[in-house]
Structure 1
Amino acid sequence: MRREVMDYIMQILGPMLNGTGVTLKMFFVTIVMSVPLGLMLSLGRISRFGVLRSAIGVYIWVFRGTPLMLQLLFVYFGLPFIPVIGEILILTDFQAAILAFVLNYAAYFAEIFRAGIQSIERGQYEGARALGMTYGQLMRRIILPQVVKRVLPPVSNETITLVKDTSLIYVLAMNDLLRTTRALVQRDFTMTPFIVAGVFYLLMTLVLTWGFQRLEKRYAAYDE
C-alpha cells in the first residue's frame, strides 16, 4: 500500500510542480511590482497635497475594504465592459490576476510603509533639514533605512499571506497549484493531492519565514 502511494505521488509531481510554477510566478511578479508601488503610495499619503492624500486614502480604503476575489472578478470580467477602458485594456488571465493582486497588495504595503515612516522621530527630519538635505536625500539616507527594519515583521506577514492568496486565481481558470490539485482529486478520487499541495505551500512559507528571520537578525545586529 505504501509503495502504491509513493508511486502515485511520483506520478502527480510533474503536473503539481507545473502548477507551483504558476503560483510562484504570480507571487514574484506581485511582490516586485506591489512593494515599490506601495512605497510611492505611502509617500503620497503623507504628502502636503490634500487632494493627493485624499485620493490615495480612498484607493486604500477600497482595496483593503473589499475581498481580493471580488477585485479579481471585477478586473477580469468587469473592466472589459467599461467604455474606453475595455477597448484599450485587453488583458489575459495572468495579466488580469497580476493587476488585481498588485493593486490590492500595494494598498496594504502603503499603510505598512506609512506607519513605518511616521514612526520616525520628528527630530531626525529637523536635523536633516538643518544640514541642508533635500527631501529625497532625507528619505533615501536617513528615513527609509530605518523604516525597512521597522516594517520587516508586517511585510513578512503580508508576503506569507500572498503565497496563500495566490490560490484565488483558480477562479480565472488558471492552472496554479490549487487548481491542478483539485483537478487531480476529482480525476483520481483521492485526497493525496491535497496533502501534497499542503506540503508545497508549507515549504514555500517556510522558505519565506526563514528568509525574513535572517533579515531581521541582520538588522538587529547593526544595532549592537
Structure 2
Amino acid sequence: MTEQTRPAKQTGPSSEWQPSALQRERIAYRGRQARRSTLIAAVSSVILLALVVVGVTSTPGWPRVRETFFDVHRGWEALPVVAQGLWLNVRVMLVCAVLIVVIGMTLAIMRTLRGPIFFPLRVFAAAYTDVFRGLPLLLVIFLLGFGVPALQLRGLPNQAVIWGGAALVLTYSSYVAEVFRAGIESVHPSQRAAARSLGLTYRQTLRFVVLPQAVRRVLPPLLNDFVSLQKDSGLIAVLGVIDAIRAAQLETAIDFNFTPYVVAGLLFVALTIPLTRLTDYVARKQGWYGGGGGPV
C-alpha cells in the first residue's frame, strides 16, 4: 500500500471512542432502573416507619413510656455524665483490642506449629481456646473481678476495671485466635514451599509470606469481633466500674426515669456504627459479599 492509497490518520475528538446508540440506551435504562429502585426503597421505608410510629404512639401506655424512657430534658441532663462513662468504655476497648490481637495471634501461631516438640504448645493453645470460648463472658468477669481480689495476693492490682478488662482480653483472644488460625490455614501450602525454596527460614516464611495473606483474609471477621468488643465493654459495669452503663444506672436511681439508659444506648450505637460500616466496606472490597443484586 502506497502513501497515496494509505488512509489518513484521524486526529481530534472524532478519533476518541464513542458508545454506540445501543450502549447509550442500555446506560440510560440502567440509570432509570437505579432511580426507580431508590425511589421505591425510600417510599417503602418511609411508609413502614410511619406505620411503626403510628402503631406505637397509639397504644394506651405510650404517654407513660414516653415520659419514662424518652424525656428529652432528662436525657440532656444525663448526657454529660453518661458520656464521661463512655470515655472509660472507649479506653478499655482500645487497650483490650491491642492485647487481644497480640495474644490471639500468638495462640494462632502456637496452634499451627508443626513437629512433636511443639506438642505442649499446641495443647495449651487448644485448651485455652476451648475453655474461654465455652465460658460465658459475664461469668469470667465475675470470677476475675470478685475472685482474684479476694485472694489478697501481694503485687496484684485490686481495681475492678483492670480485672474486667482482663476478662474481656481472655475471652475475646480465644475467638480472635481461631479467626487468625483460619486465616493462616487458608494460605495454600505451595506458598510456604515456594518461600522455603527461595531460602527463607520458617520464621521468615511465617512473617513475610503467610501472616500478611492471613491477616488480609480475616480482616472482616476480625473487625466484627471488635464491634462486639465495643458493646461488651459495658459489661464491666457489673463490677461497679463507673462506665456508661453504670453512670446511666446511677442517673436513673435519682428519679426512676430510664431515659439515661436510652442515652447510653444511643451513644454505644453512635460508637459502633462507624466501625460496622468500615467492616462492611472492607468485606465488600475483598469480595466477601456477593456481587449480585441491584443498586439498592
State the TM-score, normalizing by the size of structure 1. Answer: 0.88
The answer as to whether partners of 2:74 and 2:260 remain within 8 angstroms in 1 is: no
- Give 1:21's aligned residue: 87
- Give 2:29's aligned residue: none
Which of structures 1 and 2 has the bigger CA Rg? Answer: 2
In the aligned structure 2, how far is the partner of 1:111 from the partner of 1:171? 28
In the aligned structure 1, how far is the partner of 2:198 from the partner of 2:225? 36
The answer as to whether partners of 2:227 and 2:275 remain within 8 angstroms in 1 is: yes
Q: Is the counterpart of residue 143 in structure 1 residue 210 in structure 2?
A: yes
**More displaced 10-residue stretch of structure 1: 27-36 or 131-140:** 131-140
Q: How does 1:170-189 map to 2 (within 5 A)?
A: 170-189=237-256
Percent identical residues = 35
In the aligned structure 1, how far is the partner of 2:100 from the partner of 2:249? 29
Question: What's the Cα RMSD here?
Answer: 2.2
- Give 2:195's aligned residue: 128
- Give 2:107's aligned residue: 41
**More displaced 10-residue stretch of structure 1: 140-149 or 106-115:** 140-149
Q: Give aligned pairs, total.
A: 217
Q: How does 1:66-215 map to 2 (within 5 A)?
A: 66-80=135-149, 86-215=153-282
- Give 1:58's aligned residue: 127
The one-letter code matched in structure 2 to 1:124 is Q
The answer as to whether partners of 1:80 and 1:87 remain within 8 angstroms in 2 is: no
In the aligned structure 2, how far is the partner of 1:78 from the partner of 1:191? 31
In the aligned structure 2, how far is the partner of 1:93 from the partner of 1:211? 32
The one-letter code matched in structure 2 to 1:144 is L
Please list the CA deviations of residues 112-138 of structure 1 after superposition, one character each: whole Å capped at 9, or x if unmatched: 100110011011010000001122221
In the aligned structure 1, how far is the partner of 2:150 from the partner of 2:85? 30
In the aligned structure 1, how far is the partner of 2:252 from the partner of 2:146? 28
Unaligned runs of 5+ in 2: 1-65, 288-296
The answer as to whether partners of 1:68 and 1:101 remain within 8 angstroms in 2 is: yes
Unaligned runs of 5+ in 1: none
Which structure has greater helix proportion? 1
State the TM-score, normalizing by the size of structure 2. Answer: 0.68
Shift of 1:103: 1.4
